[in-house]
Amino acid sequence: MAIERIVIVGGGTAGWMTAAALSRVAQGNDVTITLIESEMIGTVGVGEATIPPFVEFNQLLGIDERELMAEAQASFKLGIQFVNWGKIGDSYIHPFGAYGYQMGGIAFHQVWHRFRQAGDKRPIQVYNLETMAAYFGKFLRTEDYNKRDDLPPINYAYHIDATRYAKFLRGYAEKRGVIRREGRVTDATIDGESGFVASVTMEDGEVIPGDLFVDCSGFRGLLIEQALHTGYEDWRHLLPCDRAVALPCEREDGSGPPPYTRATAHRAGWQWQVPLQTRNGNGHVYCSEHMSDDEALDILVKNMAGKPAAEPNFLRFVTGRRKKFWNKNVVAIGLAAGFMEPLESTSIHLIHTGINKLIAVLSLDGITQTQEDSFNRLTAKEYNRIRDFLILHYNATARDDSEFWNYVRTMPVPETLTEKIELFRANGQIFREEDELFTETSWAAVMMGQGIQMAGHNPVADSMTPATIKGELDEMEKSIRFLVENMPLHGEYLAKYCPTR
- Using CA atoms, how far apart are residues 120 and 367, in angstroms rounded to an integer? 59
- Using CA atoms, how far apart are residues 396 and 447, in angstroms rounded to an integer? 7
By CB under 6 A, residue 338 contacts ligand FAD: no
By CB under 6 A, residue 331 contacts ligand FAD: no
137 or 218: CB nearest ligand FAD: 218
Which letter does DSSP use for residue 77 in this model? E
By CB under 6 A, residue 185 contacts ligand FAD: yes
CB of 35 to ligand FAD, least distance (A): 9
By CB under 6 A, residue 43 contacts ligand FAD: yes
289 or 472: CB nearest ligand FAD: 289
Active site annotation includes 470: no
Choose one: 9-17, 295-303, 440-448, 454-462; the region binding ligand FAD (CB under 6 A).
9-17
Residue 75 in contact with residue 257, Cβ under 8 Å?
A: yes
By CB under 6 A, residue 42 contacts ligand FAD: yes
Binding to ligand FAD in span 350-389, by CB under 6 A: 351
By CB under 6 A, residue 310 contacts ligand FAD: no
Say which residues have a Cβ less than 8 Å from residue 139's Cβ, sequence separation at least 6. 76, 78, 133, 154, 156, 259, 487, 488, 489, 490, 493, 494
- Compose the 245-284 pattern: x for residues touching ligand FAD by CB under 6 A, - for all others: -x------------------------------------x-
Secondary structure class of 138 (helix, strand, coil): strand
By CB under 6 A, residue 395 contacts ligand FAD: no
Q: Which residues pair with 34 in a beta bridge?
A: 7, 179
By CB under 6 A, residue 342 contacts ligand FAD: yes
Burial pattern 366-377, b for ≥16 Cβ within 10 A else e, equals ebeeebbeebbe
13 or 329: CB nearest ligand FAD: 13
Choose one: 10-18, 124-132, 397-405, 420-428; the region binding ligand FAD (CB under 6 A).
10-18
- State the helix-helix crossing angle for 108-117 and 440-449, rounded to 10 degrees: 40
Closest to 328 in 3D by CA, of 230, 232, 207, 231: 230
Choose one: 42-50, 55-63, 87-95, 391-399; the region binding ligand FAD (CB under 6 A).
42-50
Q: Which residues pair with 308 in a beta bridge?
A: 249
Residue among 77, 138, 328, 357 flagged as catalytic: 77
- Compose the 203-242 pattern: x for residues touching ligand FAD by CB under 6 A, - for all others: -------------xxx-x-x--------------------
- Using CA atoms, how far apart are residues 207 and 304, in angstroms rounded to an integer? 47
HEC per residue, 83-127: ECCCCCCCEEEEECCCCCCCECCECHHHHHHHHHHCCCCCCHHHH
Closest to 140 in 3D by CA, of 126, 156, 128, 127: 156
By CB under 6 A, residue 244 contacts ligand FAD: yes
- State the helix-helix crossing angle for 415-427 and 440-449, rounded to 10 degrees: 80
Using CB under 6 A, list all residues that contact ligand FAD. Answer: 10-15, 36-38, 41-44, 46-50, 162, 184-185, 216-218, 220, 222, 244, 246, 283, 315, 317, 334-336, 342, 345, 347-348, 351
Catalytic residue set? 77
